[in-house]
Structure 1
Amino acid sequence: MLLDDVISLRGSGNNEFVFAFEINFPDSLKEQKVSFDQDICVAFLSDIHVGSNKHLGEEFSKFLEWINNDKELAPKIKYLFFIGDNVDGVGVFPGQEKLLKLKSLKEQYDLLAKYLLKIPKEITMFMCPGQHDSSRVAEPQPIIDNYYGEELHKISNLILVPNPSMIKLSEGEKEFKILMYHGASIHNFINEIEELRIMKAHKCPAKAVKYMLKKRNLAPTHSLVSYIPNKNKDPLVISETPDVLCTGEVHRLDIERYKGTLILTGSCWQSQTDFEEKVGNIPDPCKVPVLNLKSGELKILDFSENEDK
């Protein structure tokens, strides 16, 4: 149990004491699976880190080549989700300038825009920021700003959204809900919950994200992440159960299903950084999960240098 959790109790007692024999969290349940009639797909990418000297540009170009030339799966992809840390940023941590190939945010976003302009126009892209993007660090993060990300704002099939965002894809009366959250709170979930610490959940981050669904909150504890309160609505509360909850941040692709919701933590397009090596985090780069909205089938594509995809 975390500080500030919302719970319900079952127990017995009187006006002064309650002896609890059951503790329940709000929890999440998707009672009915949503399946589209059209044979279309959604693909998920995160943590591209354009501008880093560890950015895997050749591998990302392989993905762009595939999405333009593949004749079987790529034509079915109608939506692309980019789940934050789209560029490496500037001044995110001390000494970062020594690790940058592109040393200005504008240059980084200009290169990112050149990448995205190669995506077929019939594909709609959604992009939220992460902690490395040109947005405030405090959540909820507004969209990537127009000053540094000017070229992104010119791309007609790119929709810039806040972090977090609930995206609803529609087919007639059907709605398929995808909750995008970059995932800054994942590390704190792992640090604060004993079960996750013991299993070293940085290697299986979807198990940490599962707790967000259990608690119906992306960051339930005050100060778990930098946060700007909203008197009308808490944007970190999961008020609607999503069909997919997708995150980035940990640089490892991981998949889990929890009570009807698909949990997906994104891969990355950056090789292991000095910091990751120091803390023992081994990234799992260049993986692209593709979800079929008709069949529910999930395919994982690998564009790393040792794979021929």
Structure 2
Amino acid sequence: MEARDVDSEIEIHFDITGRSTTEGKMFDMQSFFSDRLRQIRQMMIVGRSLPRRPISNSEAWRNRQRYSSTDYEVTLVGLVSETRWARSGNFNFVIEDETMQIRCSLKPPSGASNLHPALDGLMNDDVVGVSGHFPIGERNPLFLANDIHMPPLGRHSKATASEDEAVSAAFLSDVHVGSKTFLAPQWEKMIEWFRTDPLARTVKYFVLSGDGVDGVGIYPGQQRHLAITDLFNQYGELARLLEGLPDWVDLMILPGNHDAVRPAEPQPALDPEIQQDYSDAVFVGNPCDFSLHGVRILSYHGKSIDDFVAGLRSITYSTPELAMKAMLERRHLAPSWGGKTPLSPEPEDRMVISTVPDIFVTGHVHGHYAGNYKGTTMIHSSTWQDQTDYQRMLGFQPKPCILTVVNLHTHATASIPFA
């Protein structure tokens, strides 16, 4: 299917741009976490991921004599904090709902997978369910959990574009124009591919998931790593580079942590003063939930991968797809407050994954992945920046210059290398 023969069909389901209402006060923070708890608890109840209907922490504690053995268990749902492993190997944490906090202790089940929360850990501010009982005679709230329940994530049935709209979407992130390590020759190879390759003629959409430029003042000493030291000139050069794409390609641009927007997520779209250099681009916030020809796509720059690497034993920077799976499993893009990912305390927590996407896209850590998880096509978009000094110090090798192309009718993926 030739992309030039198909009309654009973009529907935005959520974008924070122009809709942020928080004042950053304590009330906003309370509303933010209360809404998260309400949303995910309701998912658990409706999705039947709990063994019984949950009750409040205070009601459970008040009736602890009734729930004092494995024969009379109770289920709680709340926000997680203070996670640690005891010398015994038990996983200890606090669970909090609107009424009170309760300390929990879970012995890892025999034969449990390394990905089980008792062995892998939980993120601060995850919303989970726990089943168990209270030990007799305990004066302080202590709950002996026998299992942890995550939000429901069944096998997803993907939507597809119709056969007469069988166009493709291309995904890229972290171009970092302005950096001395931006890979300009490889960019020209990609532009040439768009002019000559048959697959390129099917590409109707080009989604850039943040960090289009390297920015200015993002980290100490950045100036010495910049080939373009003026922020507006960086965006001007990115606009010039993107003009090389064929006229049948529609461009969508999200911000990332290097872009000229607030760092707190969800982030609004780039400022109109920056947008004016770009012709016919669609600017959206980060994250953005949108559909292309009926195919639901959740694009998120991926800053919280830093927190998942720090918080869960199984995740490393070389396996960003495991962080993406963890986001889907907990139905949240960035659960941890006060970590490496700044969050904006909106009255509604819009980082909750309320609808399971057909395609889930991230970037940020300069890896690459294309695969499937429980029916969702997962793309970790490649970068266009060579190894940085910081990455070299960590021994991390990026996977640059790979364009990921997904057919919206068949969901077939192709990873095109240009390095």
Shared topology, TM-score over 0.5? Answer: yes
Question: Partner residue of 2:211?
Answer: 85
Match of residue 346, structure 2, among 230, 243, 247: 230
Bigger radius of gyration among the two: 2
The answer on whether the counterparts of 1:30 and 1:241 sit within 8 Å (CA) in structure 2 is: no
Question: Partner residue of 1:163?
Answer: 286
Give the superposition deviation at 1:85.
0.6
Match of residue 301, structure 2, among 155, 179, 182: 182
The answer on whether the counterparts of 2:156 and 2:356 sit within 8 Å (CA) in structure 1 is: no
Q: Deviations over 1:129-181 (max 9, x none)?
A: 011111111111111112344302xx11x1010011011112xxxx2111111
Letter in 2 for 1:266: S
Question: Partner residue of 1:110?
Answer: 236
The answer on whether the counterparts of 1:106 and 1:149 sit within 8 Å (CA) in structure 2 is: no
SS in 1 for 2:343: coil
Supply the distance in 1 between the matched residues of 2:372 and 2:152 (Cα, whole angstroms). Answer: 14
SS in 2 for 1:9: strand
Match of residue 194, structure 2, among 46, 62, 67: 67
Give the superposition deviation at 1:282.
0.7
Give the superposition deviation at 1:249.
0.7
The answer on whether the counterparts of 2:266 and 2:344 sit within 8 Å (CA) in structure 1 is: yes
Match of residue 150, structure 2, among 25, 48, 55: 25
Letter in 1 for 2:309: I
Match of residue 215, structure 1, among 311, 314, 330: 330
Give the superposition deviation at 1:244.
1.2
The answer on whether the counterparts of 2:334 and 2:351 sit within 8 Å (CA) in structure 1 is: yes
- The higher relative CO (CA closer than 8 Å, separation ≥ 6) is in 1
Match of residue 9, structure 1, among 130, 133, 144: 130
Give the superposition deviation at 1:294.
1.7
Question: Partner residue of 1:307?
Answer: none
Q: Deviations over 1:17-58 (max 9, x none)?
A: 754322111143353222222321111011100010110011
Matched residues, percent identical? 36
Question: Partner residue of 2:42?
Answer: none
Give the superposition deviation at 1:187.
1.4
Match of residue 40, structure 1, among 158, 167, 191: 167
Letter in 2 for 1:24: H
Instruction: Structure 1 unaligned segments of length 5 or more: list them.
Output: 305-309
Supply the distance in 2 between the matched residues of 1:30 and 1:176 (Cα, whole angstroms). Answer: 16
Q: Deviations over 1:205-224 (max 9, x none)?
A: 11111101011111112123
Instruction: Structure 2 unaligned segments of length 5 or more: list them.
Output: 1-121
Question: Partner residue of 2:227?
Answer: 101
Supply the distance in 2 between the matched residues of 1:207 and 1:181 (Cα, whole angstroms). Answer: 15
Supply the distance in 2 between the matched residues of 1:193 and 1:182 (Cα, whole angstroms). Answer: 20
SS in 2 for 1:207: helix
TM-score by length of 2: 0.66
Say what the alpha-carbon RMSD is for the aligned residues.
Answer: 1.8
Supply the distance in 1 between the matched residues of 2:375 and 2:192 (Cα, whole angstroms). Answer: 34
Supply the distance in 2 between the matched residues of 1:8 and 1:260 (Cα, whole angstroms). Answer: 24
Match of residue 53, structure 1, among 166, 170, 180: 180
The answer on whether the counterparts of 1:212 and 1:218 sit within 8 Å (CA) in structure 2 is: yes
| 2:317 matches 1:205 | no
Supply the distance in 2 between the matched residues of 1:296 and 1:149 (Cα, whole angstroms). Answer: 31
Letter in 1 for 2:234: Q
TM-score by length of 1: 0.89
Supply the distance in 2 between the matched residues of 1:188 and 1:137 (Cα, whole angstroms). Answer: 15
SS in 2 for 1:291: strand
The answer on whether the counterparts of 1:56 and 1:269 sit within 8 Å (CA) in structure 2 is: yes
The answer on whether the counterparts of 1:51 and 1:103 sit within 8 Å (CA) in structure 2 is: yes
Give the superposition deviation at 1:98.
0.9
Give the superposition deviation at 1:195.
2.1
SS in 1 for 2:289: strand
